[in-house]
Structure 1
Amino acid sequence: MRLGLQVPSFTWPGGAAALGATFATVARSAEDTGFASFWVMDHFFQIEMVGPAEDPMLEGYSALAFAAAVTDTIELGTMVTGVTYRHPGVLVKTVTTLDVLSGGRAYLGIGAAWNEQEHRGLGVPYPPLAERFERLEETLQVARQMWAGDESAFDGAHHQLERPLSSPQPVRTPHPPILIGGTGEKKTLRFVAKYGDACNIFEMGTEAVAHKLDVLQQHCATEGREYAEIEKTTLGTLSLSADGREGTMTVAQAVDRFGAYAAIGVDQAIVSLAAVHDPVAFELVPELVAQLATITPAGR
């Protein structure tokens, strides 16, 4: 089982002047301590579950490009890009560039978008939910077409691309994995089965996650897709300590927690670390990563 790191907050000591150096240290620490992947949110305002909108928020792909330059092996992605933020062709070009310059380490993390406040605040159109899902499906189709080298015109209900050229093509083969975030059973998980290479589900308890994976498996059967081809990931929070004090977890407790998810088929647990700007947050990560590496997720 693999462990990934999400960085959802940039409210760190030193303010904007120190943010670049701190972020670089966090990215390098994630790689050095064994995290398999490194994720930032694709938001322009901080989201209410993390802090006030006014808190610092970095643009996702600029941040990942910066992280790529200070690391060598860790995989990179957004958790996740709102489909409304960028034209599909431009988004594919952006992710391709990240993949090429990082030596084949990019994911395309994507979802239907939801934060109306930042859309309206920055003048980004915010169509109704049904249309956002239509745009999501078209964007997934465009990504797969461009990464297949098919330059024929794309004529969708919402997007028209006269020549969807992608040059250079990604380094990663056959293309950067497409991770679709969300738990909707009728559309989101069906899109994972039809177009995706990975899914991301909130860490909502093993019973609830197992149900979502059962639904995904049913969609795979309908779409003629091998369920085992899809990487299953979860998203949660983690705070490690030697003794599990004050709501933290020991390494053994964390192994039990993530092992239970592996037992239902989860391949990678993606977490945010409390006080990630503090090097102490990473001290026990190598031990946790080593123990999780001995766990084979169900179905693998």
Structure 2
Amino acid sequence: MDIGLQIPDFTWPNGASMLGPELAAVARTADEAGFGYLAVMDHFFQISVVGPTENDMLEAYTTLGFLAAHSERAKLLTVISGVHYREPGLLAKAVTTLDVLSGGRAMLGIGAGWNEEESRGLGFPFPPLAERFERLEETVRYMLQMWSADDGPFAGKHYQADRLLNVPQALSRPHPPIMIGGGGERKTLRLVAQYAQACNLFNTPDLEHKLDVLRQHCDTVGRDYDEITKTVYQPLDPGANGEKTQQLIDELGRLHGLGVQVAIGSVPDVQQLDRLQRIGTDVIPVAAAF
């Protein structure tokens, strides 16, 4: 089982002037500790489950480029980009650029999006949910074409383009892996089965059921269920002094038993580095042996 770090909060004690060097240290430490993924949220306002709306929030793809420069091995992604935040051509160029400059470590994390407050606040369009799902499928098809040898036009219901030229191409082959986030049983998990290399689900009581639904969608579209990497959002807290380490290992073992291959989550007080180091020493080697 692999472990990934997601950084959802940038309101750190030393303030914005120290975010650069402190975030660089987090990236280096996590990479050296063996975290397989470095991820950020794709939000412009802080979300309520993390902190007050007015808390510090960095733009996702600029931040991922910074993390790429201070790491060597970990995959880089958002968990998860809302489809309505960027036109698909811009998103494809951003992920491709990240992939090229990181040596082939980019992933596309994408979903239908949800945070109406920040969209209205900053003036982003916020289409109805059904339209966002239409746009999600079109965006994935658009990006797959941009990552192919076909630089012809694209004609969809919501997106039209004359030439999907993408040079340089991504280094990842056949393209940066696509992670579709969310547990919607009729649409989201169907899109995972049809297009994605990874899913991202929450660690909820119905997780096993969600995986069963994904398997059913794979059967319907003729996809090998085992081809899809199953990732779960799981907070990673070994405790300030390691007192929660075994509890965390036990939970990761339970998730692995359900078929989960990657746990991605936040670490409390991540800028202090000691919990990252403890996870690297006491948790990651155990999880890798599951």
- Name the % identity: 53
Distance 2:240 2:116 in 1: 41
Q: Secondary structure at the match of 1:53?
A: coil
Quote the residue 1:239 is aligned against: 237
8 Å Cα contact 1:46-1:54 kept in structure 2 = yes
How big is the shift at 1:153? 1.3
In the TM superposition, 1:1-300 aligns within 5 A as 1-205=1-205, 208-241=206-239, 245=243, 249-250=244-245, 252-286=246-280, 287-295=282-290
For residues 274-299 of structure 1, what are the alpha-carbon distances to aligned partners after superposition, in whole Å with 9 as ceiling and x for unaligned?
Answer: 1111122223212210011111xxxx
Distance 1:131 1:219 in 2: 21
8 Å Cα contact 1:149-1:166 kept in structure 2 = no
Q: Secondary structure at the match of 1:283?
A: helix
Give unmatched runs, 5+ long, in structure 2.
none
Distance 1:202 1:17 in 2: 33
Instruction: Specify the code of the residue in structure 1 equivalent to 2:255.
Output: Y
8 Å Cα contact 2:6-2:39 kept in structure 1 = yes
How big is the shift at 1:271? 1.4
Give unmatched runs, 5+ long, in structure 1.
296-300
Instruction: Specify the code of the residue in structure 2 equivalent to 1:278.
Output: Q
Distance 1:125 1:242 in 2: 42
Distance 1:223 1:171 in 2: 28
Distance 2:33 2:70 in 1: 15
8 Å Cα contact 2:237-2:248 kept in structure 1 = no
For residues 105-154 of structure 1, what are the alpha-carbon distances to aligned partners after superposition, in whole Å with 9 as ceiling and x for unaligned?
Answer: 00000000110111011110111111010000100111111112212211
How big is the shift at 1:244? 6.0
Distance 1:41 1:242 in 2: 24
How big is the shift at 1:242? 7.8
Q: Secondary structure at the match of 2:266?
A: strand
For residues 57-82 of structure 1, what are the alpha-carbon distances to aligned partners after superposition, in whole Å with 9 as ceiling and x for unaligned?
Answer: 00000000001011111110001111
How big is the shift at 1:241? 3.3
For residues 247-270 of structure 1, what are the alpha-carbon distances to aligned partners after superposition, in whole Å with 9 as ceiling and x for unaligned?
Answer: xx12x2222111111111101011
Runs of 4+ with >4 A deviation? 242-245
For residues 147-204 of structure 1, what are the alpha-carbon distances to aligned partners after superposition, in whole Å with 9 as ceiling and x for unaligned?
Answer: 1221221111100011111111111111111000000000000000001110000111
CA RMSD of aligned residues (A): 1.2
Task: Using structure 1 for the length normalisation, give the TM-score.
Answer: 0.94
How big is the shift at 1:89? 1.1
Aligned residues: 289
Q: Secondary structure at the match of 1:110?
A: strand
How big is the shift at 1:238? 2.1
